[in-house]
Structure 1
Amino acid sequence: MARPRTFDEDAILDRAMLLFWRKGYEATAMSDLVEELGLGRGSIYAAFGDKHQLFVRALARYLDHQNTLLDTALDSEGPALPQLRAVLDRLLAADAACGNAGCFSVNSIAELLPHDEDVARLARGSLAIAEDAFTRQLSRAADDGELAPGLTPEAGSRLLLTLVQGLQIMRKVYPDPAQATAALDATFALLSGRSTAMAPMAR
């Protein structure tokens, strides 16, 4: 008869997620996981499978957090564009809290795609959820006269999605949060039909 587990799986997954986030998949050895999680190799294998399976579960948990934030923070109350901007600020701030390591999802895509189908499947699903959420919010902005004439919610959504993914890479080069703020300011000025100049990046 198997012994009951004496640890919180969600807490262990959170710790594994932070370790993979800081170090990346390839650079994280099983010995690192044993030390960080406080579990023996046998316990890790029994509960989560091999390193790759643990990584995929940790990434899925990270993406679930992001998807939940989008689902709960975007609603039909108040001006649509300011609400969407506030949500993006929260998403970027949450990633910055991990020592400017970038976005765990974007890092994983850059490291493991196109050869890891498990990561690709998770990434495609999460990006589709984000694009749908952005499109719904921009549709509301269009209905309320907030969206620039001639810009469709679908096109604006793809613009935002590409911007946010790219910003996560750029912030690893230029960690000053003012850079991301300026990029978001310029993008939302375009979405609303206003024009603005973007300051040059620090060298």
Structure 2
Amino acid sequence: MARLRNVDEDAALQGAMRAFWQHGYQALGTRQLEAETGITRFTLQTTYGGKMALFVQTLDAYLDQMDAHMLPEMADGTLDTLAGWFERRCDPARNPEAGRWGCLMIASINAFADTEPAVSARAVRFETMLREAFAGALAQIDQAGALSPDLNRGAATQMLVAASIGLNTVIRAAGDCRAGTKIADGIAAMVRGWAS
């Protein structure tokens, strides 16, 4: 049975997520982690099981938040909402600070390149979540009669997964969510072009 976390632990986990997201796992030392989150080195070991275990917990929390808040925003049965999902990703008003860091999962996948099994397991979950969200959004649009019958939904789903990953990689590299604006506009135009 999983141990329930208290409010202070949740705040510490959110702080750790922010620190790992901003700096990356390798660049974030335990002293800096302590300074930015208040998690002492002793607490890091005794409560969280070490830096890697804490990092994996932050990935789980990130994916849970993505699943609960970000992915549902793409699906309401219209192509415009799906297209707008990409456009909103580059809006600094909607993605104030963390938006410039790209996607924590994509940065983590690139950093570990399949060398850490716990991160690889979260990478599989991440890809599955994205694929299922895009497939579900396209299915809703199709059921509403708004999707071109000529569109290969499976190929379109995979293209949207790749587009999302590529967009976030550009944003992370530039350190500015606006860096992906032209890419997002192009993806959005393509999506709107799938109308029936």
* Same fold (TM > 0.5): yes
Partner of residue 140, structure 1: 140
Unaligned runs of 5+ in 2: none
CA RMSD of aligned residues (A): 2.6
Number of residue pairs the alignment of both structures matches? 188
Partner of residue 199, structure 1: none
Partner of residue 158, structure 2: 158
Distance 1:102-1:95 versus aligned 2 partners, 3 A rule: farther
Q: Could you state the TM-score of these two structures normalised by the residue count of structure 2?
A: 0.82
Q: Is the 8 A contact 2:79 2:141 kept in 1?
A: yes
Q: Is the 8 A contact 2:59 2:105 kept in 1?
A: yes
Partner of residue 52, structure 1: 52
Superposed CA offset, 1:102-130 (max 9, x none)? 21111101101211111111111122122
Which structure has more relative contact order (CA 8 Å, sep 6+)? It is: 2
Counterpart selection for 1:84 from 77, 82, 85: 82
Superposed CA offset, 1:127-148 (max 9, x none)? 2122111111112222334334
Q: Is the 8 A contact 2:101 2:175 kept in 1?
A: no
Once residues 146 and 178 of structure 1 are traced to their aligned partners in structure 2, the CA distance between those partners, rounded to angstroms, is 30
Q: Is the 8 A contact 1:16 1:58 kept in 2?
A: yes
Partner of residue 200, structure 1: none
Partner of residue 187, structure 1: 187
Q: Is the 8 A contact 2:30 2:41 kept in 1?
A: yes
Distance 1:111-1:11 versus aligned 2 partners, 3 A rule: same
Name the larger-Rg structure. Answer: 1
Partner of residue 108, structure 1: 108
Q: Could you state the TM-score of these two structures normalised by the residue count of structure 1?
A: 0.79
Partner of residue 66, structure 2: 66
Unaligned runs of 5+ in 1: 195-203
Distance 1:34-1:175 versus aligned 2 partners, 3 A rule: closer
Distance 1:54-1:173 versus aligned 2 partners, 3 A rule: closer
Distance 1:83-1:64 versus aligned 2 partners, 3 A rule: same
Once residues 182 and 149 of structure 1 are traced to their aligned partners in structure 2, the CA distance between those partners, rounded to angstroms, is 28
Amino acid in structure 2 at the alignment position of 1:83: T
Partner of residue 197, structure 1: none
Partner of residue 124, structure 1: 124
Once residues 29 and 181 of structure 2 are traced to their aligned partners in structure 1, the CA distance between those partners, rounded to angstroms, is 36
> 1:177 offset after TM fit, Å?
4.9
Structure 1 residue 43 and structure 2 residue 43: aligned?
A: yes
Aligned residues: percent identity?
A: 28
Distance 1:179-1:15 versus aligned 2 partners, 3 A rule: closer
